Amino acid sequence: MPKISVILATFNEEKNIAACLKTVTWADEIIVVDGSSTDKTVAIAKKFTPNVLVRENPLMFHKNKQLAINKAGGDWILYLDADERVSPKLKLEIQKVIQNNDINGYWIPRKNIIFGQWIRHTGWYPDYKLRLFKNGKAYLPCKSVHEEPELDGKAGYLNNNLIHYNYQNIHQFVRKLNNLYTQNDRDVFLSSGKKIYWQDALRFPVSDFLKRYFLEEGYKDGLHGLNLSLFQAFMAFTTFAKIWEKEGFASSAPANTLSGVAGEFKRIGKEFNYWLLTAKMNNSRSIIRKGYFRLLRKLSR
Specify whether the CB–CB gap between 283 and 222 falls below 8 A: no
Which CATH number does the domain 4-165 belong to among 3.30.70.270, 3.90.550.10, 3.40.50.300, 2.40.50.140? 3.90.550.10
User: Stretch 145-149: mean pLDDT, rounded?
Assistant: 75
User: Bridge partners of 34?
Assistant: 10, 54
User: Stretch 71-93: mean pLDDT, rounded?
Assistant: 97
Q: Which helix (H) or strand (E) holds 149?
A: none
* pLDDT at res. 144: 64
* pLDDT at res. 148: 83
Confidence band of 49 (pLDDT split at 50, 70, 90): very high
Categorise residue 253: left if φ over 0, alpha if ψ from -120 to 50, beta otherwise: beta
Q: Which of 49, 51, 54 is nearest to 10 (CA)?
A: 54
Range picked from 28-42, 55-69, 248-262 for highest mean pLDDT: 28-42
Question: Does the pLDDT value for residue 58 go beyond 90?
Answer: no
Question: Does the pLDDT value for residue 175 go beyond 90?
Answer: yes
Q: Which of 194, 186, 188, 197 is nearest to 250 (CA)?
A: 197
SS3 32: strand
pLDDT in tens, 212-271: 999 999 999 999 999 999 999 999 999 999 999 999 998 877 778 898 999 999 999 999
Report residue 86: phi and psi, to 5°: -100, 115
Q: What are the extents of the domains in the chain?
A: 4-165, 169-253, 257-301
User: Stretch 95-106: mean pLDDT, rounded?
Assistant: 92
pLDDT in tens, 158-171: 999 999 999 999 99
Report residue 280: phi and psi, to 5°: -65, -40
